Structure 1
């Protein structure tokens, strides 16, 4: 009768325990952010219902396209019948920032198989991206903790889908949720995230460039979401130009 090697069994148990701990750590870390998600999600669900979208269609939309900015854009453009090509184009434009976010994570994902990494990035949003990247830098690690990232993402994803659906359900009962100031939750969440990523005024110059360009573009082209792409490109370009030159 063949006995299990004690060293291999212990290593497997330790790895499973470590994974569970990282999942729980990520889920717990997501709690302050997901609390900010709740009013924001309620507002989106209520706006969707007011545009004629059913309570079943809202979680379908938010579950398949986990990106708050593009979903708000889609709701603003929603009509009967909907202009699907226009909505899809604007959603793609708003979500184009995920290409830059994914590129920033790439050096931290080289230890993860490609298929698993791509599947995990389906759940990436601005908040989970920022938290996972900040966690890796805080640990001074060149590898992203995938279990931590999944833990964060699960909490945020489920909260978003559930409460957008709830917003669609309660909208006829309580009217316009924006009059209660719930839409300020979006700004509050991003202020907290930016504070956690602050590395000094010099390092944040690309943020300022991105902000100014996005604001000017919004003033000149208020229709659509061109300001998102303009801000992203300007921020990326300024970061490349302002990066310290390596000595030869």
Structure 2
């Protein structure tokens, strides 16, 4: 029998694909919704394909589609995209200790293809491997995650944009619950008890408060920074 430390890069890559596959049930309809909304705003399938391929981050893509109009508010879209994607700075910082020792030519693609889902799965896998005394970060496993998520997301978003004008209000279909369900599953897999989850709860409370009291996407950096501050506070040596 092959043990985890004897797994080949090919086996690890396939493991990443296999473990990521159930998540696609939630991602696929969400990608279609993004594409359909873009198509209804006048985006072509090629524009949607290029946007999702170069700015691989679902939340900011939805924001960009909502702001899409003629003339195109480029500066506003860029600012909102940066604001929403600022959470990736913190995600990258959390993943950075596990990327030590990798050459820059591998680290940069790993960070480019990092999404909420691939980050959560890669980090959870690294923590499990570390607990088993194995090399913490499995780049082939992470690459399998990223490849599946990337191809499915940009492909179905492009398909959605191509057929978008044929549909009405897709938000009324109820597919919007699919993505939150995916995140709940990811959080469940990272659950280590209430004490460890306190920064999550602080982040949630602050994000909800800012969302209800301020316009724009300020709730994203507010929730991220408050969660980071809470984690630092409770993580200080006593």
| TM-score w.r.t. length of structure 1 | 0.89
Q: Secondary structure at the match of 1:26?
A: helix
1:41 corresponds, among 31, 34, 57, to: 31
The separation in 1 between residues aligned to 2:107 and 2:114, in whole angstroms, is: 11
The separation in 1 between residues aligned to 2:227 and 2:8, in whole angstroms, is: 37
Residue 129 of structure 1 corresponds to 119
1:196 corresponds, among 182, 189, 197, to: 189
The separation in 1 between residues aligned to 2:193 and 2:160, in whole angstroms, is: 39
- Following superposition, the deviation at residue 115 of structure 1 comes to 2.2
The separation in 1 between residues aligned to 2:142 and 2:205, in whole angstroms, is: 31
In structure 1, list runs of 5 or more residues that go unmatched.
1-14
- Following superposition, the deviation at residue 35 of structure 1 comes to 2.1
Q: Secondary structure at the match of 1:245?
A: coil
Q: Is the 8 A contact 2:36 2:167 kept in 1?
A: no
1:226 corresponds, among 206, 218, 228, to: 218
- Following superposition, the deviation at residue 176 of structure 1 comes to 2.4
Residue 205 of structure 2 corresponds to 212
- Following superposition, the deviation at residue 78 of structure 1 comes to 1.4
Deviations for 1:200-247, whole angstroms, at most 9, x for unmatched residues? 01100001110111111111112x21110100110000100011516x
Q: RMSD of the TM alignment (CA)?
A: 1.6
In structure 2, list runs of 5 or more residues that go unmatched.
1-5
Residue 183 of structure 1 corresponds to 176
The separation in 2 between residues aligned to 1:105 and 1:95, in whole angstroms, is: 16
2:148 corresponds, among 137, 149, 155, to: 155
